Amino acid sequence: SGVVNTVDPLGGSYAIEALTDRMERQVYEYFERIEAYGGVIPAIEAGFFQQEIADAAYRYQREIDERRRIIVGVNEFVAEEPLEIPLLKMDPHGYERQRARLEQVRAERDNGAVGQALDRLRIAAQGTENLMPYILDAVRAYATLQEIMDIFREVFGLYREPMIV
């Protein structure tokens, strides 16, 4: 924002006003860029936001690499000896135990209630209402995350991020 470039930014409202005016202009210019695509949805589909994020990440990394942005421990005051990070060791039988618990839940739950909750979620997903109450109902009936996501894939399809060159 440039606040740190002013000796006493709060000493006179002119400094804050100027910064606010500049930021407001930049925000409206950005909104105009999005509107040029026809709105947010077409901008997403065209990869606009993905490209903006990629460009910002590239600029940020260049600032670090060129030491125009100092990050302690990364490009300034870096430890001389390498840091030893212990590896997380997973229990090799954890997967089997979790799988058995899932099968037990599926065997003991009311599958009719699960089916009804998932049907209500499917119908709601085809409309425009808030889906969270329907998701919570499905979870309370012990629907699995996969079962809920299968409904979303069925209704909405799979998102394919556009290739940005």
Residue 31 has pLDDT above 90, yes or no: yes
12 and 60 co-located in one domain: yes
Q: Is 137 inside a domain boundary? A: yes
Of 127, 128, 120, 129, which Cα lies nearest the Cα of 148? 120
The number of beta carbons lying within 10 Å of the beta carbon of residue 43 is 19
61 and 115 co-located in one domain: no
Q: Which of the listed residues 65, 82, 115 is the one where a domain comes to its end?
A: 65
% of the chain beyond a pLDDT of 70: 93
Residue 10 has pLDDT above 90, yes or no: no
Q: Is 37 inside a domain boundary? A: yes
Helices 145-156 and 111-125 pack at an angle, to 10 degrees, of 30
Average pLDDT, the chain: 92
**Residue 16 contacts residue 24 (beta carbons within 8 Å):** no
Range of the domain at 142: 94-156
Q: Which residues contact 70 (CB under 8 A, 6 or more apart)?
A: 76
Q: Is 84 inside a domain boundary? A: no
- Structural domain count, the chain: 2
**Residue 124 contacts residue 134 (beta carbons within 8 Å):** yes
Q: Is 117 inside a domain boundary? A: yes
106 and 146 co-located in one domain: yes
Residue 140 has pLDDT above 80, yes or no: yes
Residue 82 has pLDDT above 90, yes or no: no
Report residue 164's pLDDT band, with 50, 70 and 90 as the boundaries.
confident
Q: Which of the listed residues 28, 49, 65 is the one where a domain comes to its end?
A: 65
Q: Is 21 inside a domain boundary? A: yes
Q: Which of 77-81, 83-87, 93-97, 124-128 is most confident?
A: 124-128
57 and 98 co-located in one domain: no
Residue 92 confidence (pLDDT)? 86
DSSP 8-state assignment for residue 76: B
Q: Is 85 inside a domain boundary? A: no
Rounded CA gap, 68 and 75, in Å?
Answer: 10
